[in-house]
Structure formats: structure tokens, C-alpha cells
Amino acid sequence: MPLVFVPTPLGNLRDITLRALDVLREADLIVAEDTRVALKLLRGLELPGREIWSYREANARRTTTAIVERARTALVAVTSDAGTPGISDPGSELVAAARDAGVAIEVLPGPTAAMGVALLSGFPLKRFTFEGFPPRSSGARRESFSHALRGGATTIWYESPRRIRAALADLAAVAPDARVFLVREYTKLHEEQLAGTPREVIAQLAERPRGEVAFAVAPYETTPEVPPADAAAAIDALLAKGERVGDVAKLLATRGFGDRRELYARAAARKARRKSSIKER
């Protein structure tokens, strides 16, 4: 019997496909990211009373084998809270384990916010990358944005509504004139689409936005504010803006100014020199 990955609606129940309905109706076991969300979905689709197992990051390692073994003799449907399972949530490990065990795998086509925001953006899509969620710390986010934008392709990101303003602020720090397209609550009743530079999108966001967030960044040419040979001037410019030494080193390393450790040492020395100069005055 196959292990079938079943995309579920992002918000509008009418986005369920006929094949997805068939699999959910016939499945002997439904594997869900959150059993409560799955129960609500199944009730909405008039498919109550199904056996459901939880499968999420916290328990994936200890439940993968049991799911694969069940799929040897039964039809097992794998779902996520919304969208295609395995994208930004556990799933790839389950596919690998099933393949190693000789269990057949099917992935049904269906909703995914990444493709939705990509198409809605209007940005070039002959080549694009899905970057998932950016790191949580500011310095790591800036480094991640800088690295991704150097690829010269449209990039697609997910982010928590609690961190989206901070994430866009970090994007503005490394690419202030980048073109951004953001969708909040894609396919839902209160869907919101915002476009502009990172700062312009921040200005349009509610103070405490709610719901799922995805955004696209158009291809961006990352060029240093000063010639790469003049690392000292670049360091001084960032220190003058109040950037921390560690962030200066990370950012300039991604922009091709040299080795991160060497840049850190130079930035620390120049910051100390600036402080000494200020005291002497």
C-alpha cells in the first residue's frame, strides 16, 4: 500500500482536490501535524471518525518507523496543518525512510503558499529559490538575506507574523531598495497583499500582524556601498550607523570584503580607535 502525501487547503476548504478527498476518504490512517487541526478539517469535509496519528518535529524521529510499517499493509495519508506536507515541516525524513523500506510513495499536487506568492509577485520566475524561514537572530538573518540575494534570482520566504517586521528591517539593512511582495493570510477571508521596498512594506503592515506570512524578493544586484578594496571605509560607515562589530564582519564578508574573522578584528580595532578619538576630544 502507498504512503500518500495529501496537500490540504491553506484556508479555503474549496481548494481541496478530488484526488485528495478520495485518499482521505479511503485512508486507513491519517498522519497529521496537529491532530486537532486535522479533526477540524475532516469535519469540514464531512469525513469524521478517522484514525489519526500525530507527526511533527518533536516526535518525528520516534514515530517515523511505525508510520512506515503501517504503510506496508494499509493506505496511509500524510497531511500538514495547511498546504503541502514536507515543506517547512517534517516529511522528507518520512519519504526517505519509506523509500529505504521499499514502501510506495505518492505526492498529490495541491496548495502551497510559496508558489502562490511567487506567481502573485509578478517577479521573474525562470529561476527562483525557496528559502523557507529566515534565521531568528538579526545578524544571522542579515547574513542569510545577503547570501540569498547574491544568487540573482527571485527568492521566496516564509516568516512568523511575530517576526516579520524585524525580518523586513534586516532585509532593508542589506538591500534597502529591494522589491518585496508580501502576502498575509493567502486564500483566506482577510488576505492582504503588500508591495514596495522593505521599509514601505513595514509601513503598510499592522502593528501586530496576524496569520501566515509569505513574501518574495525580486532579483537584486548586491553591490557594496564603497569599493571592496576600501574595507576600512566600509567598516567605518557601518560603525557610524551603530552596527555591532560582529554584524559588521558578517555583512562585509557576505559582500566580498574579505575573511569574516579578519574583518571582525579590523572592525574591533577601528571601533576602539573611534572611542579613543572621541575621548581625546
Q: How far apart are CA 263 and CA 242, in angstroms?
A: 16
The mean pLDDT of 264-271, rounded to a whole number, is 87
C-alpha cell at 51: 484514525
Is the residue at 223 inside a domain? no
Q: What is the CATH number of the domain that holds 178?
A: 3.30.950.10
**Which pLDDT belongs to residue 225?**
47
Q: Are residues 125 and 89 part of one domain?
A: no
205-245 per-position pLDDT tens digit? 998 999 999 999 999 875 544 455 578 888 888 888 888 88
User: The sheet that has 105-107: what strands, in order across it?
Assistant: 52-54, 29-32, 76-78, 3-5, 105-107
**Which pLDDT belongs to residue 227?**
53
pLDDT band at 279 (very low <50, low <70, confident <90, very high): low
Q: Are residues 94 and 7 part of one domain?
A: yes
Give me the numbers of helices (H) and strands (E) for the chain, helices first please.
Answer: 11, 10
Residue 66 structural domain: 3-107
pLDDT band at 257 (very low <50, low <70, confident <90, very high): confident
Is the residue at 222 inside a domain? no
139-180 per-position pLDDT tens digit? 999 999 998 998 889 999 999 999 999 999 999 999 999 999
Q: Are residues 40 and 71 part of one domain?
A: yes
pLDDT band at 280 (very low <50, low <70, confident <90, very high): low
Q: What is the CATH number of the domain that holds 89?
A: 3.40.1010.10
Q: Percent of the chain at pLDDT above 70?
A: 95
For residue 252, is pLDDT > 70? Answer: yes
- What is the number of structural domains in the chain? 3
**Which pLDDT belongs to residue 226?**
47
C-alpha cell at 75: 493506505
Per residue in 107-125, is it b (16+ CB within 10 Å) or e — as a string? bbebbbbbbbbbebbebee
Q: Which of 216, 252, 247 shows the shortest CA–CA distance to 234?
A: 252
Is the residue at 225 inside a domain? no
Q: Are residues 207 and 162 part of one domain?
A: yes
**Which pLDDT belongs to residue 230?**
75
12-66 per-position pLDDT tens digit? 999 999 999 999 999 999 999 999 999 999 999 999 888 999 998 888 888 999 9
For residue 256, is pLDDT > 80? Answer: no
70-122 per-position pLDDT tens digit? 999 999 999 999 999 988 777 888 999 999 999 999 999 999 999 999 999 99
C-alpha cell at 166: 524585524
Domain boundary among 54, 82, 107: 107
pTM: 0.74
